[in-house]
Amino acid sequence: MRRALHTAIAISSPHNLDVRVENDLTEIDHGAWGGLLKEEVEKRFGPILQQWLMKPSQVQMPGGESLFQVSQRASGVIQRILASYSEGRVAVCTHDAVLKAILLQALGLNLDSFWNLGIDNASISILEFDAGDVRLVVLNDTCHLGGLRSATSEQAL
């Protein structure tokens, strides 16, 4: 998904900053669900979809990834960023499931809290890391989007 890269370029270009692509920040691999509408997923994979909506930590999408796998790979990137940039600010442009996994881990919450976080496309969330402590400063800020914010019902699984 190139949206995250395009967003990173839009953010970095005015400041003459480099963009570094981290493949481990790519969206969750939906496997057999990829490209299907929610209704199609429900028809073909109803029981797994219901489990995904109720206990997402227990689901590995057919031919795809589990939320645990997403959390593990994203966590590795965050750890590398923290090791490389102990001071200053770093913008990370990624996707819904990856961002939720990062936030849940940073806040010490279980992956089953996945659906308790609302993350809109092009929203801004800010975490501050200080000597091992993490503080959520901003979550899902969309004020810069005005009326362009997408409806929750239109967002991906």
Q: Which residues contact 95 (CB under 8 A, 6 or more apart)?
A: 1, 3, 4, 25, 26, 27, 28
pLDDT, tens only, 20-33: 999 999 999 999 99
Q: Does the pLDDT of residue 153 top 60, yes or no?
A: no
Section 113-141 average pLDDT: 93
Predicted confidence at residue 121, as pLDDT, reads 87
Q: Does the pLDDT of residue 94 top 90, yes or no?
A: yes
Q: How confident is the model at residue 154 (pLDDT cuts 50, 70, 90)?
A: low
Q: How confident is the model at residue 151 (pLDDT cuts 50, 70, 90)?
A: low
Predicted confidence at residue 156, as pLDDT, reads 63
Task: Quickly list DSSP for the chain.
Answer: --HHHHHHHHHHGGGT------GGGSPP--GGGTT--HHHHHHHHHHHHHHHHH-GGG-B-TTS-BHHHHHHHHHHHHHHHHHH-SSS-------HHHHHHHHHHHTT--GGGGGGS---TT-EEEEEEETTEEEEEEEEE-GGGGGGPPPGGGS--
Q: Does the pLDDT of residue 149 top 80, yes or no?
A: no
Q: Which CATH class is domain 3-154?
A: alpha beta
Query: What's the predicted TM-score (pTM) here?
Result: 0.90
